[in-house]
Amino acid sequence: MTARLRQDAIVRSLRRNGTSTVADLAGEVGASRRTVLRDIKALRDEGFVIHSEPGRGGGLQLDPQSVQTTARLSVAEVFALLISVASMRAAASLPFSGLADAGLAKIERALPSDKLRDLRRFLDCLYVGQLSPQVDISDMGAMDPALLPAFETAFLQRRHLRIQYRDAKEAVTNRNVEPQAMLILPPLWYLVAWDPARKGFRHFRMDRISRPEIDEDATFQRRHVPFENHVRPIRDLSR
Amino acid sequence: MTARLRQDAIVRSLRRNGTSTVADLAGEVGASRRTVLRDIKALRDEGFVIHSEPGRGGGLQLDPQSVQTTARLSVAEVFALLISVASMRAAASLPFSGLADAGLAKIERALPSDKLRDLRRFLDCLYVGQLSPQVDISDMGAMDPALLPAFETAFLQRRHLRIQYRDAKEAVTNRNVEPQAMLILPPLWYLVAWDPARKGFRHFRMDRISRPEIDEDATFQRRHVPFENHVRPIRDLSR
DNA sequence: CGAATGGTGCTAAATTTTGACACCATTGAA
DNA sequence: TTCAATGGTGTCAAAATTTAGCACCATTCG
């Protein structure tokens, strides 16, 4: 029995029995009283809240609110969770958004610092809003997640992006644009980009974009994107 | 230097240098070649994807896609994340829902088993759907999360629930009902319950419910709740 | 007061981890 | 072909860590 397994057993026992004494736990997990006390200290160091009462009738009690879980997530999964929860908050205020945000903030903090920096920089480009109820979205396509890496690279390295765009009239054009922001109006995503040829901002619906290519040579400066009041940066939501 | 710290150092080094040899890593972390190989095996067992090339010019490489994060979450936070992502999926299909679900599944699996059982049983009572676009939700209140523990207990122990309900005409009634399901039509929550006095199912908007009390004496059997096609159980979404 | 409880320090014993070595398979350059 | 550089495994004794036992302290309650 390794230390880790024994500590898990102690947590399970406390959870099951409510209150236990050190001696009981020692008998249960087959270790000495001293070792159980060391384990209790280790668990407290890890963040478990364990109340204790000395004296006759005393004992140990695991704070039920502190029951915890650890999971190992990839950066892509964290990203997906962030977007989902932030979009949800924008679309409909749920009673749990505070808790979900707190959970996400913990996950985010645990990211390795270099990935965290990239993720934050990309999240800074993301804005969420709400589609006006009049729009019929039943026939709209979903964006292809396979497109995302190209966009992420273009944003982070501030490279020009070549895309093929099919507009509302089905006319197909080729563009070379500066990606400035991504706007999420669930379920639609828009690329907000400065079009140098037209000297103006354009919104491109992501499900109408195909064949994105990074222009390796040209870089650009960030511009201030004029968003309306009901569009909010996603970063505010995940803090 | 504990094993854990050394393994973290190895991951950092691989992330920084791209490719390293076992001998280089051993020198860097101050351990023997054999120990580094043991650590590599442990990291792989934990889910890190480490490519290796034997032979001259070979070495170890950490798959950048497998960069991972661990976070310690409370059950309430996991619950909030589950609800948020599932609701989001119902309201609007996002490109990442698969990834977010995968991340959540990992988190869910890491829950302590007794809490996991409770959470799953409660999730089995949850259904999501989409409010029809005609409904004006701008003036609707949010449910009070403080109510949830009473509902959760009533569901899990199948206890009758006493509530005070204020209906659409502002008429206040007292009910004693059997909670059968929760229906989430973002941003509104409904309690779907069998009302024995009226011998029928009733939908109660959660923001109109007050003073829920568990009836300690009476228990009930689960009933089949007749849901329409566009209402889906939440559990399907988080697998 | 005394028994039951949580908590700490110390030390020798028990256990686990580590390093060293031999060895194998693969690769690429000489 | 040959050889050096690499990843990978098995074995075993040495090193390091963990554990049990013990003494002891503080607190609580009957």
Separation of B52 CA and D1 C1' (Å): 27
Candidates B11, B63, B74: best to mutate against A (most CBs of A within 10 A) is B74
More confident residue, A151 or A96: A151
Q: How many domains does chain A have?
A: 2
Shortest Cα distance from A141 to chain B (angstroms)?
10
Residue type, A239: R
Q: Which residue of A has its CA nearest to B207?
A: A95
Judging contacts by C-beta atoms under 8 Å, the chain B residues touching residue A96 are: 79-80, 83-84, 145
Q: Do A100 and B84 touch (CB under 8 A)?
A: yes
Distance (Å, rounded) from C-alpha B69 to C-alpha A82?
Answer: 14
pLDDT of res. A238: 40
State the residue range of the domain holding A123: 75-238
Indicate the residue among A48, A66, A84 that finishes a domain.
A66
Q: What is the CATH number of the domain that holds A53?
A: 1.10.10.10
Identify whether residues B8 and B120 lie together within a single domain: no
Q: Chain-wide mean pLDDT for chain A?
A: 77
- pLDDT of A174: 92
Q: What are the chain B neighbours of A145 within 8 Å (beta carbons)?
A: 95-96, 99
**Distant-in-sequence, close-in-space partners of A183: CB < 8 Å, separation ≥ 6:** A127, A128, A129, A189, A190, A191, A192, A203, A227, A231
Closest CB to A69: pick one of B67, B110, B148: B110
Query: Each residue of B22-61: b (16+ CB within 10 Å) or e?
Result: beebbeebebeeebbeebbeebeeeebebeeeeeeeebbb
Distance CA A43, CA A190 (A): 47
Distance from CA of A124 to the nearest CA of B (A): 18
In this structure, the answer to whether residues A50 and A80 fall within a common structural domain is no
B58, closest nucleotide (Cα–C1'): D6
Q: What is the ipTM of this complex?
A: 0.58
- Angle between helical axes of B113-123 and B97-109 (0-180°, round to 10): 140
**Is the domain of A111 the same as that of A59?**
no
- Tell me the mean pLDDT in the region A156-166: 86
Strand D nucleotides, any atom under 7 Å from protein beta carbons: they are: 4-11, 17-23, 26-30
Distance (Å, rounded) from C-alpha B62 to C-alpha B50? 5
Note whether B54 and B81 are same-domain residues.
Answer: no
Q: Which residues pair with A188 in a beta bridge?
A: A185
Cβ pair A103:B75 closer than 8 A: no
Q: Which of B19, B37, B66 is the last residue of a domain?
A: B66
Chain C footprint bases within 7 A of protein beta carbons:
2-10, 16-22, 25-29
Residues B92 and B48 in one domain: no
B200 and B83 in one domain?
yes
Residues A22 and A129 in one domain: no
pLDDT at A22: 93
Mean pLDDT in order along chain B per 10 residues (239 residues): 82 85 91 92 80 86 70 70 72 61 70 65 76 59 64 79 87 90 78 88 87 79 78 59
pLDDT score for A239: 38
CB–CB of B186 and A95 under 8 A?
A: no
> Is residue A183 domain-shared with residue A95, that is, in the same domain?
yes
> Is residue B145 a contact partner of residue A109, using CB atoms and an 8 Å limit?
no
| pLDDT tens per residue across span A181-211 | 888 776 678 889 999 888 989 999 888 888 8
Show the CA angle centred on residue A94, arms to residues B168 and B161, nearest 5°: 55
Please give the single-letter amino acid code of residue A7: Q
Environment class of B16 (CB within 10 Å of its CB; exposed 0-12, middle 13-18, buried 19+) = exposed
Q: Does A186 touch chain B (CB under 8 A)?
A: yes
Contact B207, A94 (CB under 8 A): no
CA distance A150 to B163: 53
Whether B87 and A92 lie within 8 Å, measured CB to CB:
yes
Sign of CA dihedral A141, A145, A147, A150: positive
CA distances from B200 to A90, B39, B165 (A): 36, 62, 16
| A10, A17, A66, A73, best to mutate vs chain B, most B CBs in 10 Å | A73
Q: Which residues of A touch B138 (CB under 8 A)?
A: none
